Amino acid sequence: MNILGILTQPSVPPDFTVDYLVVAGGAGGGGFGGGGGAGGLRCTVTNTGGGGTLETALSLLPATNYTVTIGAGGAGGGIGAGAAYTAGASGNNSIFSTITSDGGGGGATGGGGGAGPFVAGVGGSGGGGGASGNLTGAAGTANQGFAGGDGVGATTYSGGGGGGAGVAGSGATGGNGVATSITGSSVTYGGGGGGLTGTAGSGGGGAGGISISTNPSGQPGTANTGGGGGGGNNNVGQDGGAGGSGVVILRYPDSKTISFGAGLTGSESGASGGFKRATITAGTGNVSWA
């Protein structure tokens, strides 16, 4: 109530618009098998994952907490106790506020025995099929990523490439990722891992596959790109590569300043083109703006 005795509405701080890139953790490549699928990718700038249309920026309020989680990459599969092959582990989800990107699906293994799992995993992008036995690549998630490629059995013993955010795995080559300019320059995220093959297959922003003659272990996905790990060979110690961790990048008006809560690793850029950008590379916690 003001001095004239008239009821007035409380002041509500104005909202502001935040663009986002949310990339989940990539999956591990399978032992004697397929490449790991890339982490799911959702974005409001330049491109988004899975061939979808651009997402819509969020309208947020100052002095309000919003949750952020950075998904870790999945471990590579291999030959465990008792010579049991295992598929690559799925990546972990990344979250910003109401936006969740799904972790990549693990690459299949060409072997069997033990506790498994053995088949390619469904995820943000799907895992590639094994080099024998479990040949079928898995599906990706709509508007986040694509399917993994199928493996080839006894003729070549080649694993399928993991699906990427931009393209499905094809043969032993991991699917390409997606380029976005949310940081102010074009960077590619979410490439699928290459499958086991005599010559390395790779995906943009992701991991290379293995070369039997020169590099029998799968290559890891690149950290903070959500890249899938490359498929491993069929000998002890020649495991699939681990998936790369995810990332969250936020773009907002340069009049705002972000605060990172306990548990998060992040940094804020200087003002450029009317925006600031926050890059969050690890942890779980809250962010807020003033």
Q: How far is it, in rounded angstroms, from Cα 170 to Cα 183? A: 29
User: CA of 274: how far to CAs of 119, 252, 270, in Å?
Assistant: 48, 8, 10
86-129, pLDDT tens digit by residue?
999 999 999 999 999 999 999 999 877 777 789 999 999 999 99
Four-residue CA torsion sign, 152, 78, 284, 276: negative
39-79, pLDDT tens digit by residue?
999 999 999 999 999 999 999 999 999 999 999 999 999 87
201-236, pLDDT tens digit by residue?
555 555 556 545 455 678 899 999 999 999 988 777
Domain limits of the chain? 20-290
- Count Cβ neighbours within 10 Å for each residue of 55-81 and write b for 16 or more, e otherwise: beebebeeeeebebbbbbbbbbbbbee
**Does the pLDDT value for residue 9 go beyond 90?**
no
Counting runs of H as helices and runs of E as strands, what totals does the chain give?
Answer: 0, 12
Comparing C-alpha atoms, which of 179, 144, 160 is closest to residue 39? 144
pTM of the model: 0.93
